Amino acid sequence: MNCIKVWSLISLILMTVMTVDYRAESLPISIKQQLLSGQYEQAAKELNALAKSGNLEAQHQLAILLLSGKGIKKSPAKAEQLLISSADNYNKSAFLLGTLYQHGKQLKKDLFQAKKYLLMAADTGHKKAAKSLKQLEKSTQGHKQPSNKVQKAFLLAIKEGSLASSIENHKLGADINLANKNGASALIIAVKSKHHKVLKWLLQQSAKPNYKDKQGNTALHYAAQTNQLKMIITLANHLESLEVLNKNRQTPLILATQKGAKKSAQWLLSQKADPNRQDKFGKSAKSYALKSKISLNYPSKTTLKASSQGKEIKQLSKQFSKQQKAYQLQALKEQSSNPEGLYYNWPMLHIAVMQKQDQLSDMLLQQGSDPWLKATTGETAIGLAAASEQQQLLLRMLRQYPVNKSGESKVIDEVMLIATKTNNLPLAKQLLPFASNAAPVELAIKSDAYDVAEFFLKSTHKKPSAKLLHLAIRESQTKMANLLLSRGADIQWKDPKGRTALWLAAQYSQPEMISLFIRYRSVIEMADIKGQTPLMRATINQCVQCVEILLDNKADPEKASTTGNSAVMFAAQMSNPILKLFLQQDIDLSNRNKQTLTPLMLAVKAANKDCVQSLLKAGANPRRRNKQGQDAIDLAIDQPEIVSLLEQY
């Protein structure tokens, strides 16, 4: 499975050396133990709290869980943001991020970003990153790169504000996102040089607003500290968050207050930028504002009416809002009318959706743009929103323009996936009559979308596949399992390895499910192809509660597997609490497995002193011999404490 491969890759990445940073505190031992023992859900909760406080290792570990879906809902996008946030000062994050961009399995493949983050990790002594970087550079030697001359001419044109020359060099192959030797991208150069028109053009050409230079600053950082309000708002419209950090853990708001950029600071505050976040030096925007003698209090409505300063800010906001909307619409028109552009003859709504400009999309919808209208390439805005998982925008579109028979079936199927993932029952009901594929019950189970799953199951007369029941067990969805059984899923069905639902519930330590399956009359002793019963699996996984339930329902602790081992023998090697439960039963401690080993011999070989003691007290004979003629004392020859214990009996 892909997720297993990715998890293996991530596991290898964990075995690296990190650089020391003031925020890279080691994780508490309790969290490390949770991760090692597979208690991912609890670990994820605690990691999340630490990550929010700025602990870089916690951000890194939480990203790994988000990538694998262990203990937390899988979200490569959230993992990417955590890794970007911690990469500057934590080389494990930089290495992982670079590797993900390089391979393109969890994140979109981006070799330029891969090189950037692998170089970042390699520069701080990460040996594996250095090795990966060499391999990447070797593999991309044959790829077409812009000539050094063209790229230099392009960046010079950006610096001089020559839009015509910038466009010409871009056509010759200059890369929009390739930085100069100082790490400054074209977007950053445009901001530093104060060329707003060039900045707008770069963003239209998909320049990356999140790109960071060697100091970790983005274009927004430079716009904020130089008080370029128009540029700030233009950039903000292309960013998901204003809380992006540089290497000193400073946000654009912090830099604005540090440099006394009053209008920039107040506008950022009006957009909910956090004034209390502290940088690497323990200072916040509030403390810098105090030193710069600028007010961070955004004016109230009363103040706005009364003060000239308030009127200026209000007027500026209104003026900008009108200008920005006009600029955005004009930019869309230009892209739609450009024969050489990606979006030639596309409806403006479709371009806005493709570029994830939510506010602009909403404005166009209000003006009557039809999201079901097809672009020249066949896409609808609904389909684009579904494909890029812009869930909220998609739902707003469908409220205004409901599904109808004229909708393309492929698009409806994509929207159905969104409805399923978000457990949106009204939308699923609206879509089902028009969907071409079967209702995605499997996805509903994986997404814990109970309402939608129930609707899908009730909409068909067929019994649900037992495979779905097994999936519900793996996803720890007890309520979902009950639903599937109530709709007729086969409780006794075995997968190719001979595993029943009860067997899997024991394997995944799910006592509630075990009780549920027993109520549905699951066969207690149904073994897999290796002869292992649910009781054996519960014992191996040391689920005491599972064992108790199975014993209460007459599970046999002496039943042997194909290797001759019983649940008692497994317990003797690993779990004294479970062994004590078995010893309360009427069992024969002289039974041997196919290697002629008794439970006591197995406990000795496992060096489990507590189990040895419990077995001896229960009457196990330390003088019995295996086929090699060895007794328990012979097997414990290098374990003096156990030898001493055995000699007492």
The CATH architecture that domain 491-646 belongs to is: Alpha Horseshoe (1.25)
- Of the candidates 173, 172, 204, 165, the one whose C-alpha atom is nearest the C-alpha of residue 187 is 204
pLDDT of residue 287 exceeding 60? yes
Return the pLDDT at 382.
83
Average pLDDT over residues 182-192: 92
The residue whose two tokens read 């509630």 is: 512
User: What is the band of 2 on the pLDDT scale with cuts at 50, 70, 90?
Assistant: very low
Confidence band, pLDDT 50/70/90 cuts, at residue 568: very high
Q: Provide the percentage of residues in the chain whose pLDDT is more than 90.
A: 34
Question: pLDDT > 70: what percent of the chain?
Answer: 88
**Reduced to 3 states, what is the DSSP secondary structure of residue 165?**
helix
Residue 565: per-residue pLDDT:
94
Location of structure tokens 């007492």: 648
Contacts of 30 (CB under 8 A, 6+ apart): 46
- Give every CB contact of residue 403 below 8 A, 6+ residues apart in sequence: 412, 415, 430, 431, 434
**Greatest mean pLDDT among 37-51, 118-132, 322-336, 595-609:** 595-609
Query: What value does the CA radius of gyration of the chain take, rounded to a whole number of Å?
Result: 32
Residue 492 pLDDT > 90: yes
41, pLDDT greater than 90: no
CA 157, CA 334: separation in Å to the nearest integer? Answer: 21
Predicted pLDDT at 146: 57
pLDDT at 438: 61
In which band, very low, low, confident or very high, does the pLDDT at 329 lie, cut at 50, 70 and 90? confident
Identify which has the larger pLDDT, 153 or 404.
Answer: 153
CATH 1.25.40.20 fits 148-300, yes or no: yes
Q: Domains of the chain: which residue ranges? A: 2-139, 148-300, 313-331+339-435, 491-646
Distance (Å, whole) CA 643 – CA 649: 10
From residue 87, how far is each of 13, 118, 242, 248 by CA, in Å? 14, 10, 18, 12
For the ranges 35-49, 521-535, 632-646, the lowest mean pLDDT is seen at 35-49
Contact (CB, 8 A) for 535 and 502 = no
| H or E segment to which residue 51 belongs | helix 40-52
* 480, two tokens: 């979902």
**DSSP summary character for residue 78:** H
Q: What is the pLDDT of residue 478?
A: 93
Q: What is the pLDDT of residue 443?
A: 84
The DSSP 8-state label assigned to residue 438 in this structure reads: P
* Residue with more model confidence, 165 or 38: 165
pLDDT of 147: 66
Question: What value does the mean pLDDT take over residues 98-126?
Answer: 82
Residue 295: what pLDDT?
A: 75
pLDDT of residue 11 exceeding 50, the answer is no
Residue 122 pLDDT exceeds 90: no
Could you please state the CATH topology (level 3) that the domain comprising 2-139 is classified under: 1.25.40
Closest CA to 645 of 618, 619, 610: 610
d(CA 11, CA 1): 15
Grade residue 417 by pLDDT with cuts at 50, 70 and 90: confident
> Residue 327: its pLDDT value, please?
66
Per-residue pLDDT band for 16 (boundaries 50, 70, 90) equals very low
CATH 1.25.40.20 fits 313-331+339-435, yes or no: yes
CA dihedral 194, 195, 199, 201 (to 10 degrees): 180
* Predicted confidence band of residue 321 (pLDDT cuts 50, 70, 90): low
pLDDT at 142: 46
Residue 22 is predicted with a pLDDT of 30
Reported confidence tier of residue 340, pLDDT bands at 50, 70, 90: confident
Per-residue confidence (pLDDT) for residue 34, from 0 to 100: 77
Q: Taking residues 417-428, what's their average pLDDT? A: 81
Cα–Cα distance for residue pair 230/199, rounded to 1 Å = 11
Determine which of 97-101, 185-189, 295-299, 453-457 has the lowest per-residue pLDDT on average. Answer: 295-299
DSSP string, 255-314: HHHHTT-HHHHHHHHHTT--SS-B-TTS-BHHHHHHHHT----PPPHHHHHH-HHHHHHH
Cα angle value 567/571/573 (rounded, 5°):
125
pLDDT class of 297 with cuts at 50, 70, 90: low
pLDDT of residue 9: 44
Structure tokens at 77: 């996008």
**For position 221, what pLDDT does the model report?**
95
The CA angle 239-177-236, to the nearest 5 degrees, is 15
* Residue 410 in this model has a pLDDT that exceeds 80: no
Q: Is the pLDDT of residue 21 over 50?
A: no
Q: What is the pLDDT of residues 348-372, one digit of tens each?
A: 999 888 888 888 888 898 888 888 8
What mean pLDDT is reported for the chain?
83
pLDDT band at 505 (very low <50, low <70, confident <90, very high): very high
Lowest mean pLDDT among 58-62, 378-382, 454-458: 378-382
Query: Is the predicted pLDDT of residue 475 greater than 80, yes or no?
Result: yes
Establish whether domains 313-331+339-435 and 491-646 are of one fold. Answer: yes
Q: Which two tokens stand for residue 431?
A: 């879509």
Flag the least confident range among 72-86, 99-113, 199-213, 460-474: 99-113
Q: Which two tokens stand for residue 106?
A: 């969890």
Please state the rounded mean pLDDT for residues 488-501: 95
Q: What integer pLDDT is reported at residue 304 of this predicted model?
A: 43
Q: Check whether 101 has a pLDDT greater than 90.
A: no
**Residue partners of 532: CB distance under 8 A and separation at least 6:** 503, 561
Residue 315: per-residue pLDDT: 52
Find the mean pLDDT for residues 11-39: 57
Beta strand segments in 491-583, E: none
Instruction: Compute the average pLDDT of residues 470-482.
Output: 93
Tokens of 320: 């900008």
Place of tokens 């009318």: 337
- Greatest CA span in the chain, whole angstroms? 100
pTM > 0.95: yes or no: no
Q: What is the pLDDT of residues 526-555, one digit of tens each?
A: 999 999 999 999 999 999 999 999 999 999
